[in-house]
Amino acid sequence: MILIFVGSSGGATATAAAATAAAAAAGGRSALIASIGPSHSVGPLLGVAPSSGAPQHVAPGLDLWALNALEDLGTVWGDLRGRAGGTPASSIGAEELPIIPGSDLFLAVARLHHLSASYDLICVDAGHHDALLRALGVPDTFRWSLRLLLGLDREPGRSSASMSRAMVPSALIPFEWIGQVQDARVKLERLRDETVAPAQTRVRYVLRPDRGGLEEAALALPALQLFGLSVEQIIAGPLLPEGLTALGLMVAEQRQVLADAAQTWAELPMRRLAAAATPGGVPGLVAIGAALYTGGDVMPGPPAEPPLRLVGPPDPHVAIDMPGLRREHLGLTLSGDELIVRAGPYRRHILLPEGMRGGAAIRASRQGDTLVIRPRQAGA
């Protein structure tokens, strides 16, 4: 099982991820702390310098792995370059490649899926939610660009309508190049689907306990679910202790934010991460983890219903669980066979299920925290 820890700002995501893994290891599980960087702030928490390559052992049942995006990109490119012989891409060296925003997530996912068989639990410090959400949108951007430039489209891969509108005529492009680009598009979307699969990946959102952190979470949490990631818990922190007279206003704001969050996401368990000095070692992380998971199992429960559901006939519809998203932050656009859903600054392109494609209109309704989109019937 992979747990992704993501939140607003600060080092609380790294602390929550490392403390969860340490608590799991102390309870007899095999756990891996994974940092996808780039700063790898889990290092100071453990008192070690993270190294790339194979996971390093830090305590009984507990390992640490840090992504080196440049090194992993070079390895992947070396493999692709060998299969792209005869194309302009085959002449590009790994040291020439830029790090495309979002590529580090997919490099990490590929490695973590390989490592997952060796651990009961992998805790990923993914840092700020914005980076994760932008990365999850990369396959949509790639698909849109290929459709605009080359006319390459979704299943079965090419459509006469898209190719007739392409900026670059397909006759000018070698057939084998088109096949390789199309294959890359399909693999990228498949990798995103594997990343968000609820059976093996969940999110624990780390809420910064101030008004700004709450406003960010109100957009980020439903956006994560829009991309198919199941948010199973909220971790609020770092929390100041009650009774600090000198920081009375901050403590009062924190108290109100926790109350508002509990009301907004009433269905999600909320855990409390107390403010503390950098532990600098595994024993300190185990203590933080024990306090964080008092009265509850550190391991995820059974998978819940996916937050994004595409349903075909006889009742074709799209259902998206988007808790806490205010009406003014929601936008829907129908573009051909795609539904474009906006959650604040984040946007997802969704291929409509069978029974909704080729339609001219849709209707949307909110059923609690769930957005349901169906085809609009004639006269409705």
Nearest to 334 by CA among 298, 306, 361: 361
Sheet with 121-128, edge to edge strand ranges: 56-59, 62-66, 31-35, 121-128, 2-7, 201-207, 231-239, 270-274
**SS3 state at 23:** helix
Higher pLDDT, 197 or 6: 6
Task: Give every CB contact of residue 248 below 8 A, 6+ residues apart in sequence.
Answer: none
Q: Across all residues in the chain, what is the average pLDDT?
A: 80
Q: At residue 239, does pLDDT exceed 80?
A: yes
For 358, the domain range is: 308-375
The pLDDT assigned to 101 comes to 57
Q: At residue 129, does pLDDT exceed 50?
A: yes
Q: Total structural domains in the chain? A: 2
Q: At residue 157, does pLDDT exceed 50?
A: no
Q: Are residues 18 and 60 in the same domain?
A: yes
Q: Are residues 9 and 42 in the same domain?
A: yes
Q: Are residues 203 and 326 in the same domain?
A: no
**SS3 state at 333:** strand
Q: Are residues 275 and 132 in the same domain?
A: yes
Q: Calculate mean pLDDT across residues 145-158.
A: 55
**What type of residue is 103?**
S
Confidence of residue 119 (pLDDT cuts 50, 70, 90): very high
**What type of residue is 306?**
P
Tell me which of 37-46, 102-111, 190-199, 221-230 is least confident. 102-111
- Count of C-beta atoms within a 10 Å radius of residue 110: 14
Higher pLDDT, 333 or 98: 333
The pLDDT assigned to 260 comes to 96
Q: At residue 329, does pLDDT exceed 50?
A: yes
The last residue of one of the domains, among 265, 292, 319, is: 292
User: Best-predicted range by mean pLDDT among 64-73, 186-195, 233-242, 293-302?
Assistant: 233-242
Q: How far apart are CA 77 and CA 144, in angstroms?
A: 23
Tell me which of 2-6, 137-141, 280-284 is least confident. 137-141
Residue 107: inside a domain, yes or no? Answer: yes
Burial annotation 129-167 (CB, 10 A radius, 16+ → b, else e): bbbbbbbbbbbbebbeebbeebbbbbeeeebeebeeebe
Residue 38: inside a domain, yes or no? Answer: yes
pTM over 0.85: no
Residue 188: inside a domain, yes or no? Answer: no
Q: Calculate mean pLDDT across residues 262-282.
A: 91
Q: Is the peptide bond before 38 cis (omega within 30 degrees of 0)?
A: yes
Higher pLDDT, 194 or 63: 63
Residue 25: inside a domain, yes or no? Answer: yes
> Is the Cβ–Cβ distance between 214 and 7 less than 8 Å?
no
> Is the Cβ–Cβ distance between 129 and 346 less than 8 Å?
no
What DSSP letter does each residue of 78-142 carry, written as one string?
Answer: HHHHHHTTTSGGGG--GGG----TTHHHHHHHHHHHHHGGG-SEEEEEEEEHHHHHHHHTHHHHH
Q: Are residues 203 and 343 in the same domain?
A: no
The pLDDT assigned to 94 comes to 45
Show the tokens assigned to 223: 């956006």
Nearest to 254 by CA among 230, 271, 268, 237: 237
Share of the chain above pLDDT 70, in %: 74
Would you say the C-alpha torsion 131, 137, 138, 141 has a positive or negative sign? negative
Residue 220: inside a domain, yes or no? Answer: yes
Q: Are residues 47 and 73 in the same domain?
A: yes
Tell me which of 21-25, 131-135, 327-331, 343-347 is least confident. 131-135
- pLDDT tens, position by position, 332-379: 998 877 889 999 999 988 888 888 877 778 899 998 899 999 988 755
Q: Are residues 224 and 360 in the same domain?
A: no
DSSP, res 162:
H
Q: At residue 122, does pLDDT exceed 80?
A: yes
Q: Are residues 361 and 286 in the same domain?
A: no
Rg for the chain (alpha carbons), in Å?
22
Q: Are residues 325 and 203 in the same domain?
A: no
Residue 166: inside a domain, yes or no? Answer: no
Q: What pairing do the DSSP bridges indicate for beta strands 338-343 and 346-351?
A: antiparallel
Question: CATH no. for residue 316?
Answer: 2.60.40.790
User: Best-predicted range by mean pLDDT among 38-52, 85-99, 129-143, 323-337?
Assistant: 323-337
Q: How far apart are CA 119 and CA 122, in angstroms?
A: 7
Q: How far apart are CA 119 and CA 111, in angstroms?
A: 13
Question: CATH no. for residue 275?
Answer: 3.40.50.300
Confidence of residue 80 (pLDDT cuts 50, 70, 90): very low
Q: At residue 213, does pLDDT exceed 80?
A: yes
> Is the Cβ–Cβ distance between 219 and 212 less than 8 Å?
no
The pLDDT assigned to 235 comes to 96
The pLDDT assigned to 127 comes to 86
> Is the Cβ–Cβ distance between 351 and 154 less than 8 Å?
yes
Q: Are residues 204 and 288 in the same domain?
A: yes
Q: Are residues 127 and 84 in the same domain?
A: yes
The last residue of one of the domains, among 234, 267, 292, is: 292
Residue 55: inside a domain, yes or no? Answer: yes
Q: Are residues 216 and 285 in the same domain?
A: yes
The last residue of one of the domains, among 228, 263, 292, is: 292
